[in-house]
Structure 1
Amino acid sequence: MVRQIKTNKSNNSCVSRGEVWPRKFGNLAPMLDKLMQEWPLRSKLDPNIYGPQESAITASIIEEEIIGFETVEKLFILDYHDLLLPFVRQVRELGNRTLYGSRTLFFLTPQGTLKPLAIELTCPEMDGKPQWKHVFTPTTDSAYHQLISHWLRTHCATEPYIIAANRQLSAMHPIYRLLHPHFRYTMSINAEARNSLINAGRTIETTFAPGKYSMELSSIIYDKQWRFDDEGLPKDLISRGMAVEDPSSPHGLKLAIEDYPYANDGLEFWAIVKQWVSDYVNHYYPEASLIESDSELLAWWEEVRTVGHGDKKDEQWWPELKTPEDLIKIITTIVWVASGHYAAVNFGQYAYAGYLPNRPTIARRNMPNEDKRDQDYWKSFLEKPEEILLKTFPSQRQTLTVMSTLIVLSAHSSDEEYLGDKIEPNIGST
C-alpha cells in the first residue's frame, strides 16, 4: 500500500482553499463529516491484503499545521478510506478513471470555519510499482452523495415503507393518509432511475468514479452502515459527533459547529415535523391500546422490518411499535428522510454540481506525482495546471450527461405540496 499526504501548506494548488473548503457544510453532502473521536487513525481493513492499518497522518503533521491551538473536539474527518480502498484496483482496471481511498482532516478554527489540515490518498501497489499521486476528493464526494446520501437513503431504503403501506394499510387509514403526500412520486422516480440511471452501462456507471461497482458499493454501505434508528436527524448528528444532548440548547442539542446550515435549519424543520406528526397521531391514537389493536398498522410495521428490510430483520435497534410515542418517532423519522433530508441532497444538485469543475463526478487519470518519474507530465502540470485538470475532469460527453441529469433531478414538481399548505379532503367528500 502506498500513500501521499497533502497538507494545507503545500503551495502547488491552482485553486484557493479559502474558496473551496468553507463551502463544505453548504453543499450536497453536509452529513458526511464526523468529529474525530479516535486517535491515532487506523484502518479496520485486513493488513495482509490492504497494507498497514496506521494512517500516514501523524500528530506531528497536525501540530505543525495548528501550532498553539487546542485540538480537543476541534478535529473533524471526512473518511472514505476503508470504504473505497477495496475498490481502487477494480475501478482503475476499467480504464479512463481513477480512484483512491481518502481521508481529509479538518480543524475547527476560533472563527467557526473548517480549515483543511491534510488529505491522505491511498492506493494499493499497481503492477508492483508504487503510485503516489493526487486526485481531487470531490469525485469521491460526488459518488458517495449520489449512491448513498441520495439513492440509498431517500429512494431505495424508503421503498419498503411505501410498498408495505400499499399492501397493509387501506387508503382510509389515518397513517396511510399522513404518509401518502411524502411518497406520491417515489416509486415512479425509482422505476425511472432503474431504467436509465443506475442500470448497467447507463448514467451512473459511465459518469461516476465507481463505474460498474456503483450498486455494489451502495449495497455494502447499506449492509454496514444503514440502520433505521440513525436515520432521524438528532440521532444522526449525535452518532457523528456533530452534536451532544443539552437540555438548555435549542431542540435539546448543542452543535459542535455553530455554522452548520444542514443541522441548524434541519433541526428547525425536524421540530416542526415532529409537532405535526405528534398532533396527528395523538388525535387518532390517544391511548396505547389503540395502537396495539390496530392490525393494519402493526402489519405495516412488521412488513417494513421483516420483509422490506429483511436483511436486517434481526437487528436489535428496530424501534418497537406499542405506544403513540413509538409511532410518532417512527413516522417523524420516515417523513424527515422523505422531505428534509431529501431536499438537502436533491434540489441543490444542479446549483452546486452543474458546474463540474466545482464538483467533478469522475477523474479520468491519475495526477502527476511529486517524485517526477514522468518529468514531462509533471512539468506540464506545473506550467499549465488548468490544462492537465481539464484532461483529468470528466469528458465533454460525460459533463453534458451529468449536467442534463442533474437539472432534471433538481426540478420541483409542478404540483409540489408543502407541509400544512394543503390538507387532503376527508374520505367521501367532494
Structure 2
Amino acid sequence: MTAAGYRVAPARLDTVAGEFGSRAGSLETAQKAVAGEKVPATAFGQVEEAKAAAKTFEKTMTELGSKLESGVSRLRTLQNGLTASAAGYRRTDAQIAAMYRALMPEDPLPKAGNPAGIGGSADTGAWAQAIAANRTKVTDALTAERSRLASLTDADEIKRSQARISLYEDILANNRQILKFDPSGNGRIAELVGHIEPGTRNVGLFVPGVNTQMSNFDAYAGLGRSLVAADPTGRTAMVVWADGVFPQNPVAQGPSASYAEAMAPDLKNFTDDLRGEIASHAGSDVTLTAIGHSYGGATVGLAETHGLDVDRVLHVESAGMGHGVWSPADLPASQAGVQRYSMTAPLDPIEVAQGNAWGLEWTGIGHGADPDTFPGVTDLETGRSASGDQLWGLSSHSDVLKPGSESWTNIYRVMTAGPVTLDGTFRPDGILEHGVEFLNDGGVLR
C-alpha cells in the first residue's frame, strides 16, 4: 500500500498462487499416502488388545487424512482466488486501456520517437485493437491453463501445459503483439515481431510445419525475433503465423494435403489484411516475403494457388510446392512476378516427400513438385551451422533455422534483398562431409 492507495502487482499474485499450488501438491501427496495406509489387526500381535489398537490406528489415519484433505482444499481455494484476482486486474487494465484508446482520434499525427505504426502506442487501427483484445484472451487462457495444470498427471501433458503457461506469461510481461489467438485444441496463434511503421522496408511472414502447436510456438517466434534483431536499421518486421490446424505426426498425417488445403485460404486472407496494414502504416514500397518451413512450405505453395499477395516466397526444407502444383502453369497469373527461393539440407528426410507423389495426388496425398528443382526457383545453400558443422541429415531439418548458420543468413538476405549463397558452393572438409555431398549430389536421394 502507498500513500495514494493500493498498488497491485499481478505478477506477485501469480508467484504466491504458484507457491500455494506447490504446497497443496505436497499435502496432496501426503494425503494419498495416508489414505492408502492399511494395517491389519494381526500387525499388533495375537492378543485381544490388538483389535483395539488397530481401530485406534485406523481412526488416527482417517482423521489425519481428513485434516490433510481440508488443508489441500484451503490451499487450492487460495491459489484459485489469487490466480483469478491477478487475471481480473490484468483484464481490467486491458479494458481501461482500450477505453482510453477509443477516445483518441483514429489517425493521430505521429510524434518523434512514437511512430503511428502497428505496435506503436499511437496506433488505434484494427490490428492494434486486435492486439489489445487478444491480451485479454491470453490473460483468461493463463488462468484456465493454471487450473488445468493442477489436475494433470501425464508427464507429457504437464510439460506442454507448463510451456503454454510460460508462453502466456511472457506475452503478458513483454507486451507481445498477438494478432490471432485461440487456445482451444492444440492452439492457434499469430504474432507480429517488431513494428510496421514509416521506414519499414521488409516484412517476413513465417509459416511453420508439422507438430506446430501452442506449446512450441515460442521457438518459431524466437526465429522471428532473431531476424528482426539482425537488421541494425530497424527496417525489418516479422509475422509468425500459426493460425491453423497443423499435422502432428510426420508419418501418419504429414503426407496428407488436407491440412494445407484448409489453411491456405486463411493464410491468403490474412496476407491480404497484412498488405492493407503495411500500406496504411508503412507505404506501398515494402517488400513482403513468405517463408514456409517443412509442411509450412506446402501450405504457402497452396496459398499461392489462391493468389497469395507476396513479393517473394522462400521454401525452407519444404515438403513441396503445394498439392497439385507441378509447373508454373499450375499457378494463377497473379503469381507471375513472385521471386521464389528454396533450400534443403543434404539428406534431410523431407526429400522423400519432395516431388514424389505422382499418381497418388487423387487420394489427397502429396505436396506437388520439389521446390529445389521447380522452374524459376533459385536454389540456395544451407552450408554450415554457427559452430562450423555441416548441416545435413535429420537434425538439419530444424537446425537450418538457428541464428548464425549459413542457412539462417540466407533466409535473412532473401528477406532484405541481400547477396545470397547459391547451392553448390559448399566446400566439404573431411571424409564425412565429402560422403554426404557425394550422396546428395549423386542423385541417390534427389
**TM-score > 0.5 by shorter chain:** no
Structure ID, larger Rg: 2
Under TM normalisation by the shorter chain, which class is it? under 0.3
Instruction: Give the number of the structure with larger relative contact order, counting CA–CA contacts within 8 Å between residues 6 or more apart.
Output: 1
